[in-house]
């Protein structure tokens, strides 16, 4: 399965923690399958994993889960774009996602 497939599956999935677990697992697997782009997969894997660790045993509102999922769907789209781009663009998009996650996402 490619990252594009994993991203599409996550987008179609429910907003529960199981979907985040699967995305995390798929992203970390892609690191093994595509080492030159491991940084792209690592950022998504860590973000999805952080959500699971924080909320797996807690009830969250559907709106909150949907917002968190939308953030990762957006990141996935940017990284899918990055995978099709040249190396400088790929690095720029990865940096944008990493910066956004670090400084704008406070809930997971």
Confidence grade of residue 74 (pLDDT, cut at 50, 70, 90): very high
In this structure, what token pair is assigned to residue 61?
Answer: 């509102």
Count of domains for the chain: 1
Rounded-to-integer distance, Cα 24 and Cα 19, Å: 9
In this structure, what token pair is assigned to residue 50?
Answer: 């952080």
pLDDT of 51 reads 98
Query: What tens digit of pLDDT does each residue of 87-104 get?
Result: 999 999 999 999 999 999
The residue segments making up the domain with residue 44 are 3-104
pLDDT of 38 reads 98
CB 59 within 8 A of CB 21: no
Other C-beta atoms closer than 10 Å to the C-beta of 44 total 26
pLDDT of 24 reads 98
Other C-beta atoms closer than 10 Å to the C-beta of 64 total 14
pTM of the model: 0.96
């Amino acid at each position: 399965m490619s990252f594009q497939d994993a991203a599409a599956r996550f987008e179609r999935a429910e907003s529960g923690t199981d979907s985040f677990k699967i995305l995390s697992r798929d992203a970390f697997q892609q690191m093994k399958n595509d080492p030159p782009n491991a940084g792209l997969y690592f950022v998504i894997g860590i973000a999805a994993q952080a959500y699971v660790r924080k909320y797996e045993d807690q009830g969250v509102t559907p709106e909150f889960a949907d917002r968190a999922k939308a953030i990762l769907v957006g990141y996935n789209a940017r990284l899918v774009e990055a995978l099709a781009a040249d190396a400088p663009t790929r690095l720029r998009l990865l940096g944008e996602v990493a910066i956004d996650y670090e400084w704008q996402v406070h809930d997971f």
